[in-house]
Chains A and B, each alone.
Chain A
Amino acid sequence: MSAAPSAVRRHGLGLLAWLAGIVFFLPIAWMALTSFHSEADAATNPPSFTAPLTLDGYREFFGTGGGASPWPALINSAVASVVSTLLVLLLALPAAYALSIRPVKKWTDVLFFFLSTKMLPAVAGLLPIYLFAKNAGLLDNIWLLVVLYTSMNLPIAVWMMQSFLAEVPVAVIEAARVDGARLPVILARVVAPIALPGIAATALICFIFSWNELLFARVLTGVVAETAPVFLTGFITSQGLFLAKVCAASLVISLPVLAAGFAAQDKLVQGLSLGAVK
């Protein structure tokens, strides 16, 4: 008696979840479909769902149609994101070590200092950084963004890695030390295997935040050091038929983030909640 309605309800709720997933994904699916339409088919009302597919939008975006090439911006974004992520790892790993495996006194206070810097809005320091860059001749220089993105992601990385390194049992480290293993060996043989997946996820999340950043890039770069999000702001005002091109551009520029995000899916919450939720 009671099995039948509960089964209906279970299936009903599953169906509802599917429906919600599809509704949330629909704009992205529509963006993908539009990017493969010709400009004429992309801008119709009612929408043309079954229009023939073409790569014209992508050709336009990559500049073969005569527009500005997106490659310099994509390369700038890649440099800023990858180098700042490496710098973050270089600074955060030793710091996390000193906050978990061999903790300093009052290590929680230090941890919370890092977190509090993340809560300072970026606009608060924007003007002095702009003035400094202008006077030091660093405007429109990708290395300035590298430094700023490092500071933007360092607190997240320290928090995440602290929690990953804390999972390494100290007894095992002590045992290795008693056996005469030196610090580099302990780090490579004992700590790394346990902490590596977490470190990889941290790196992916830092990469995402740097790749997405607009405010600093918009204010501090111009023609030379322009990043991919700044390139996208060129599409803010509509210029005739350009919908397929916008969709292609948005999709291509979002692809690295989508890939990194799906790869780090399980650790995503932990990174975004600054390590508070596991």
Chain B
Amino acid sequence: MTATTTAPVAASAPSGTRQPSARLRAWVTRAPLLPALVFMIIVTQLPFVATLVISFFDWNALYPKARHFTGLDNYRQVLTDGTLRHSVWTTVLLTVAVVLASLVLGLLLALLLDRPFRGRGLVRTLLIAPFLVVPVAAALLWKHVLYNPEYGLFNGLLHYVGGPQPDWVSNTPLLAVEASLVWQWTPFMMLILLAGLQSRDPEQIEAARVDGAGNWQIFVHLTLPHLRRYLELGALLGSIYIVQNFDAVFTITSGGLGTANLPYTVYQSFYQAHENGLASAAGVLVVIGSIVIATFALRVVSSLFREEVSRA
């Protein structure tokens, strides 16, 4: 890593002199970067600009001739329309609940896995497995195999203890979607937090122990502050991925029963209702929401990143 911190200085030295050869050399250095950069700008940035433009038009794909500029009207409609406002709220609820629950569970599991015990590697593998099931398959598993009121595993197990036989998805639709996502995302949080736990300084902990600190004191005063950045990172990355969730909502409830989140609503409003302008306005709102999260995420990543660069 020392190389990467010193090399830019060496590379920037010749560019001060405005010789054609220095310029040429700078372009030679840049050349390997250009294909990836150009590709990303074309495939990810241009469509977003197009979305922004479309969001200012009243445009239903079924009536292409009636397309006309409406300014901010789509935004007004998105923000005042009850179903769309509801989907904003659903997105927030879904994201916050899943991120918090999987973060807490992930922390507990990471703490359990941080200590040596027989078969630790195997338990780690078992715990990662839910994250490695294809998301649609995981959602199908929960919908049909676990939640089904007649033959699902949950009611089957309740049957043994003489418990009730609830219809999980109909009774608590949002919670049903959330539980399946928590099952998939807890391993992700666990892995990030486990990496955090294992990057603690063992000497510092040993020193605290020698000074007579108990396990709980060490956890509160040393481990948690050290983990703070990893918790933030897990929360932010989890938010970025879960705000965009489409698979679970689409599969378990098909957006019904009040579980339609913004990505599902955007999908539905242009794929089924052909309202291109409205869908774009909703899409832009999703982006504005993610930019807020992303700004914090980028800050955390860059502080961890700088720490890495300076540590080496």
- Interface 1/0 per residue, A101-129 and B, CB below 8 Å: 11111011010111111111111111111
CB nearest neighbor in B for A128: B50
The reply to whether A24 and B237 contact each other, CB–CB distance below 8 Å, is: no
CB nearest neighbor in B for A264: B132
The segment from B74-82, B119-127, B216-224 that touches chain A is B119-127
The reply to whether B128 and A228 contact each other, CB–CB distance below 8 Å, is: no
With A214-B135, A253-B134 known as contacts, the answer to whether A17 contacts B283 (CB < 8 A) is: no
B280: chain A residues at CB < 8 Å are 127
The reply to whether B250 and A214 contact each other, CB–CB distance below 8 Å, is: yes
Residue B4 is within 8 A (CB to CB) of chain A in the complex? yes
Question: Which of B15, B115, B267 sits near A105, CB closer than 8 Å?
Answer: B15
Residue A71 is within 8 A (CB to CB) of chain B in the complex? no
The reply to whether B304 and A20 contact each other, CB–CB distance below 8 Å, is: no
Residue A99 is within 8 A (CB to CB) of chain B in the complex? yes
A28: chain B residues at CB < 8 Å are 129-130, 133, 141
Chain B contact residues, majority secondary structure = helix
- Interface 1/0 per residue, A241-278 and B, CB below 8 Å: 00100110111011001100110010011001111111
The segment from A53-61, A62-70, A193-201, A231-239 that touches chain B is A231-239
- State A238–B131 Cα separation when bound (angstroms): 25
Please count how many residues in chain B sit with their CB below 8 Å of the partner chain's CB atoms. 119
Residue A154 is within 8 A (CB to CB) of chain B in the complex? yes
- Interface 1/0 per residue, B101-133 and A, CB below 8 Å: 000000011001101011110111111111111
B93: chain A residues at CB < 8 Å are none
Residue A80 is within 8 A (CB to CB) of chain B in the complex? no
A-B contact pairs, 30 of them (CB 8 A): A17-B117, A21-B123, A25-B127, A43-B151, A45-B159, A47-B151, A47-B157, A99-B33, A103-B7, A105-B12, A108-B302, A113-B40, A123-B244, A123-B266, A127-B283, A166-B3, A168-B3, A215-B263, A218-B250, A228-B134, A233-B136, A246-B144, A250-B137, A250-B140, A254-B133, A265-B124, A272-B237, A276-B233, A276-B300, A277-B192
A residues whose Cβ falls under 8 Å from a Cβ of B: 10-11, 13-14, 16-18, 20-22, 24-25, 27-28, 30-31, 34, 42-47, 91-92, 94-95, 97-105, 107-108, 110, 112-132, 147-148, 150-151, 154-155, 158, 166-171, 208, 211-212, 214-215, 218-219, 228-229, 232-233, 235-236, 238, 243, 246-247, 249-251, 253-254, 257-258, 261-262, 265, 268-269, 272-278
B residues whose Cβ falls under 8 Å from a Cβ of A: 1-4, 7-8, 11-12, 15, 26, 29-33, 35-37, 39-40, 43-48, 50-51, 54, 108-109, 112-113, 115, 117-120, 122-138, 140-146, 148, 150-153, 155-157, 159-160, 165, 183, 186-188, 191-192, 194-196, 199, 230, 233, 237, 240, 243-244, 246-247, 250-251, 254, 262-263, 266-267, 270-271, 276, 279-280, 283-284, 286-287, 290-291, 293-294, 297-298, 300-302, 304-305, 308
